[in-house]
Amino acid sequence: MTFDLSAARWLNPPTEFNLTADSLRLTTDPATDFWQRSYYGFRNDNGHALLLESDRNFTFTVRTRFAYTTQFDQCGIMVYLDSGNWCKASLEYENEAFSRLGSVVTNHGHSDWATTDIALVDTLWYRLSRRGPDFLIESSLDGVDFRQMRVFHLHALGETTPEMGQADPPLPPVQPVSFGVYACSPLEGSFTAQFDDFILEECRWHAHQ
């Protein structure tokens, strides 16, 4: 499987970006975000995302490098079906003491937010794996040792196929999804992010035993 950036499409392209065959560098526009309803009440769908489409199960890995400046600045990976059904995972800047590593899963127009506080860093790898309507997100500080962040389900993709007790059965055909990288600055700040070391391969997330 090949990650072909030339085949990717923009969802809300930023004013300033540089896209090459194997990397993306962008500067976020202020007041950009992805969020739907929960707790805060607002609905934002204007963050920047560069997405590919796949109707297969896969594992996608990318390195992110960033220079956050303002609270809530964020960049990472994304699965996007439509404005009411998607997931994003990223390191989000909080203050000069720490950032929040987390993910937002949005089903049927309502977002959640799961986070853990970590020390400030400027580089992270993410790994996203798909099995039908289910997904695994992992992150790494060095691109070698990946730690699980979250397992989640996108309801719009249907039911999970029972796999308990099977060695690693082939999954039935799956619906197309758009996936890739994203960045946004929900407040009035702006920052620069770079994405590279893209890897797209057969799904490495095996059936549960």
What value, to the nearest 5°, has the Cα angle with vertex 124 and ends 48 and 96? 85
Task: Provide the pLDDT for residue 19.
Answer: 96
- Per-residue pLDDT tens over the stretch 67-122: 999 999 999 999 999 999 999 999 999 999 999 999 999 999 999 999 999 999 99
pLDDT in tens, 171-203: 555 799 999 999 999 999 999 999 999 999 999
- Where do the domains of the chain lie, and which CATH numbers do they carry? 5-159+171-202 (2.60.120.200)
**pLDDT band for position 39 (50/70/90)?**
confident
| Residue pLDDT, tens place only, 45-55 | 999 999 999 99
